[in-house]
Chains A and B, each alone.
Chain A
Amino acid sequence: MAADPARTATLRDAVGLGVAVGLYGVAFGAAAAGAGLDTWQALAMSALMFTGASQFALVGVLGSGGGALAAVGSALLLGTRNTVYGVRLAPLLAPRGLLRRAGAAHWVIDETTAMAVAAPDRELGRLAFWVTGATIYLGWNVTTVVGSLGAAGLGDTAQAALDAVVPAAFLALLWPRLQRKASEAAVQRRVALAGAVVALALTPFVPAGVQVVLAVVAVALAGRPRPGPAAREAAA
């Protein structure tokens, strides 16, 4: 139904998120320019890689003097979470045929997954995925070019503002998971805290970007299956 308020809300959120993510695109374009990538290379990353954290990781490693393998490796390590997202989205999207699956795969990222999974039903989930994907893809690529071209003219203050926006945006994505009405909010909070602490603790010792992946792996291993209380009682 076109006038369905849930549908309208989904469309509004998807477009709003696309606009907001555009802010990152400027930051990415500027970061890429700072790392020595020209505008075509920055645009190729946004158009072909199209997964923000991996893109930031790659130019971050290049910018801090890292080698080609470390740069690609950190992008891939961060890209593994899109595999997890794809596993989660596969039953919801159920893309028919190789071509449609290949197309859908390109847009499997943090934001489209969050929007699709949060939608109240499957049909709205698919709508959220495609609309969020389309608006972000468009905005992300346009603003990457803007950031790359504008980087030369960007003052320190604007750069400081952009640096501050990125963690704030991730916090906004995390926030709803920690609220009391979320499922297992207490566990989510412990997991989030553990992820942050492990990542900070590893920061001095591992290549840039790798601590994030190791933090997730550590938390996943900590949650590995163990005999529950019932099984222990049965054994006793």
Chain B
Amino acid sequence: MSTGTLWTVVLAGALGCYLLKFAGLSVPAAWVEHPWVTRVVEFVPAALLAALIAVQAATSGHDLVLDGRLVALAVAALALALRAPFVVVLLLAGAAGALVHVVTG
């Protein structure tokens, strides 16, 4: 892909993403008061975050993959259950991912 095409992709993507954000702050309040919208907004983050976690921890391209990321996710879950602070959770997960990589080569 040429530099010019890359810049086009970068800038078009950025403009589009900005307009999506701006639209959210600009739509009429009446849309928000619809019960289904309220309901969806309440639960979208859980579905989205869980989907992102699953995809980022257990897939690579079109394949399901079991590797250090899943081990790190388990370590993170344990740390969260023990009420570790956010940064500690991330550091432990990173260390677990690195360790599995070193051990499994």
Interfacial residues, chain A to chain B (CB-CB below 8 A): 16-17, 19-20, 23, 36-38, 41, 44-45, 48-51, 53-54, 58, 62, 64, 68, 71-72, 75-76, 79-91, 93, 95, 101-102, 104-106, 108-110, 114, 156-158, 160-175, 177-178, 184, 187-189, 191-200, 203-205, 208, 211-212, 215-216, 219-220, 223-225
Contact = CB atoms under 8 A, between A and B. Distances in A.
A83 B21 contact: yes
A23 B93 CA distance: 12
A160 B97 contact: yes
A36 B10 CA distance: 12
A111 to B, nearest CB: 11
A38 B89 CA distance: 31
Contact of A191 (B7, B43, B56): B43
Top 3 nearest A-B pairs (CB, nearest first) are: A86-B24, A164-B97, A168-B93
Interface of B: 1, 3, 5-18, 20-27, 29, 31-32, 35-37, 39-59, 61-64, 68-69, 71-73, 75-77, 80, 85-87, 89-90, 92-98, 100-102
Given A158-B98, A160-B98, A161-B98, A20 B47 contact: no
Contacts of B24: 82-90, 105, 108
Contact of A58 (B13, B21, B57): B13
